[in-house]
Amino acid sequence: MLETTNERAAMPAVSAAQGRTATSGGAQRRRAGRPSAAVLDKAGITAAALKLVSRKGYDGLTMAALAKVLDVAPSALYNHVASKQDVLLLVEDHLMSLVDVSGFGSDSWEDAVRAWAWSYRDVFAEHTPLIPVIAVLPVTDAPQTLAMYETVSKGFSDAGFPQDRIIPSIVALESFIFGSAYDVTAPEDIFDAGSMAESTPYFTAAVRSSASGQDAPAGQERGRPADTAFHLGLEALIAGFGAIRK
């Protein structure tokens, strides 16, 4: 959406005839020089990066690997993005469009925030390496991100929040969401005290009883431990912020 979004369409006939060396077969090299039809654009780079991440994780997202998926030399990427950070930014902005803001405008403020927060957390739990990027990067050239903030801001405003409390409330919720996204990826045994269990009786007891709590005693969250904590914190924040409204 940032530019003329080429939609990743190729003209196989022409480009195969002009852009490839003679020796047939799938993985041929393109000859040097500008090709007749552009091979790369931001939308294509973003899509390829997402595919790569879903297949190999963020460790597998290297400029070299990205270039290979796009069948291009690594240096070619730099005609379209300034750096790898730039690629991460493209991915991040795309992911923001997956966050559910549909509740704002239809549901109650509480329900809209609930749906938004859970989907926001779920999206970034799969993409935690982006969190340091998002948390610090200006929103300026991230249109989807901006669109999300606009919808949420309007939702808060319509719900009766005073102007000057809207951003701080959203920021606090986001902070909780980002932290909770990490929590989802934590290993099961993260709180295993190991050999030091004897010297940490209160902690060890608490860990034990939180892990083996009774299963779903009517309307209670019971799934991954991360879900219990997220539910607990989110409801506290919603209750607390709900009281701000006039």
Identify residues 4-43 at the interface with DNA (CB under 7 A): 18, 29-40
Q: How far apart are CA 141 and CA 132, in angstroms?
A: 17
At 184, list the tokens.
């989802």
Give the nearer residue to a copy of itself in terms of CB position, either 32 or 136: 136
Q: Is 246 in the site for DNA (CB under 7 A)?
A: no
Give the nearer residue to DNA in terms of CB position, either 93 or 183: 93
Q: Binding-site residue total for a copy of itself (CB under 8 A)?
A: 74
Give the nearer residue to DNA in terms of CB position, either 73 or 146: 73
CB of 188 to DNA, least distance (A): 24
Q: Interface with a copy of itself by CB under 8 A: which range of 64-72, 84-92, 110-118, 188-196? A: 188-196
CB of 167 to a copy of itself, least distance (A): 4
Residues lying near DNA in the complex (CB under 7 A): 18, 29-40, 61-65, 67, 71-76, 78-80, 83-85
